[in-house]
Amino acid sequence: MANKVQKVWTKLKKVFGKNKDCISLAIGTDVTIPPDYKDDAGVAKQLNSAILELKELRDEYAANMEKLRTLATTVQETAESKEGLLIELNELRRLITPRVPRMGASDADRYSRRRS
């Protein structure tokens, strides 16, 4: 996509020179040069096609950004869901695991004395 934009930008610079404000204005609005405009070099036709190309690229970029936002939301929801599932799993493990009291040092000594 960057190569496409670069090619179109080069076309526009040939027409406008280095006046970026004119290029930005042409891309940002729906202004086109009237087809009945007379010019020997076919500048109007080239300019209109370049502007149209850039607008299509802009729309494609916007669509791709929307897809990325949707994917980011899905990833975030999946992560939150996974985190919730892990919490539930740990809670289930805690409930299922039998609670066996652990012997402390004094308990172990008493147990060994009784056996002796």
Q: CB–CB of 27/51 below 8 Å?
A: yes
Lowest mean pLDDT among 53-57, 80-84, 93-97, 98-102: 98-102
pTM of the model: 0.44
The rounded distance, in Å, linking the Cα atoms of 16 and 28 is: 15
Query: pLDDT tens-digit profile of 31-83?
Result: 555 555 566 556 667 777 777 888 888 888 889 899 999 999 999 999 888 98
Closest CA to 30 of 57, 52, 62: 52
Query: pLDDT tens-digit profile of 17-45?
Result: 655 555 555 555 555 555 555 665 566 67
